[in-house]
A = this chain, B = another copy of it.
């Protein structure tokens, strides 16, 4: 492996000069030229490990996600990767598989192992999380949850759910049920349910607490909850779900119980999943710019790291949403 010293010798300069050439310090045109040639000749590439040791920066961003194989998360990740690539950073990906404690673990690992910053696609925010975030040694941006005092990019789940509930209340006749997710997930659990309830209530069609079920983000859990609902309360005519994935499960359940195709206009979701849209023609749902949230969060983070001027760096950003098919 050719190192800087070799290049320097070949070019007849000191390695300090080569380093300066590479990093844009004082260098005479003459030597710059010689160094350039020497580098090309030897095919030299600088060791990022030595550089990292010396500078303390690795150009690595840690990205922690709850589940990579989900449409929303993988879109966010795509957005993150896009910006990272463009701005000269690389992505260290950690998939926690929905285990909140592994989130903390990785938060820890990433601080000691070498990342310059962290993007956390958040679900549950416990006190421990808050503490870990506060005491994080590198800049960190959250996606998906609004946490006081932390930099975050999120959607207004309450407002979106409110609008959805309000809009649906008028269009649906009969009983509306709701399949939510754990309220520990503030955004997708608590906010969506509360917003939806408030929306229905505001439209004069309040949600019956007995018709609320809890899923776990998966298609199967949506299916199971819906089956249970349909047999426990056969007069339910519409099932609103906290995610499109669970809505797909509910759809399947309704189709099974009431006949194929029946489900299509009897569920709503969140997230505007492309498959669901194509296969059903579109159920009522909320469109979020997942990719955008990845992009925005990452830009925010890197602006801070690179000290981009005119940029205040980390902050809080609420992205918009769009009601679909209502």
Q: Is the CB of A219 within 8 A of B93?
A: no
A residues 62-109 in Cβ contact with B at 8 Å? 63, 67-71, 74-75, 77-78, 81-82, 85, 90-95, 97, 109
Instruction: List residues 7-21 of chain A with CB under 8 A from any CB of chain B.
Output: none
Say which one of A152-160, A196-204, A229-237, A272-280 lies at the interface with B: A272-280
Given contacts A275-B248, A278-B223, A91 and B92 within 8 Å (CB-CB)? yes
- Copy total for this chain: 2
Within the complex, the shortest CB–CB distance from A200 to chain B, in Å, comes to 26
CB of B70 within 8 A of CB of A278, answer no
Q: What chain B residues lie within 8 Å of A49 (beta carbons)?
A: 49, 52-53, 56, 58, 114
Interface assignment of A47: CB less than 8 Å from any CB of chain B: yes
Q: Cβ of A312 < 8 Å from any Cβ of B?
A: no
Quick one: given A58-B49, A91-B92, A93-B93, are A278 and B248 in contact (CB under 8 Å)?
A: yes
Cβ of A133 within 8 Å of any chain B Cβ, yes or no, is no
Q: Are B53 and A78 closer than 8 Å at their CB atoms?
A: no
B95 and A81: CB pair below 8 A?
A: yes
Task: Tell me if B276 and A279 are in contact (CB < 8 A).
Answer: yes
Q: Are B69 and A74 in contact (CB under 8 A)?
A: yes
**Would you give the 0/1 interface string for A263-297, flagging 1 where the beta carbon is closer than 8 Å to chain B?**
01000000001111011110000000000000000
Contacts of A85 in B (CB 8 A): 94-95
A50 and B48 contact, Cβ closer than 8 Å, known pairs A81-B94, A252-B278, A275-B273: no
| CB <8 Å contact, B94 and A94 | no
> When the two chains form the complex, which single residue of B109, B219, B281 contacts A275, counting CB atoms closer than 8 Å?
B219
Chain A residues 102 to 136 lying within 8 A of chain B, measured CB to CB, are: 109, 112-114
Nearest chain B CB to A85 CB, angstrom units: 8
Give complex CA distance A276, B252 in Å. Answer: 10
How far is A273 from B49 in the complex, measured between Cα atoms in Å?
Answer: 41
CB-nearest residue of chain B relative to A276?
Answer: B275
A172 on the B face (CB < 8 A): no
Q: List chain B residues, Cβ under 8 A from A261.
A: 260-261
A273 — which chain B residues lie within 8 A by C-beta? 275
Excluding A91-B94, A248-B275, 10 further A-B contacts by CB distance (< 8 Å) are A47-B114, A49-B56, A63-B93, A68-B77, A70-B74, A92-B92, A245-B275, A249-B278, A260-B281, A275-B275
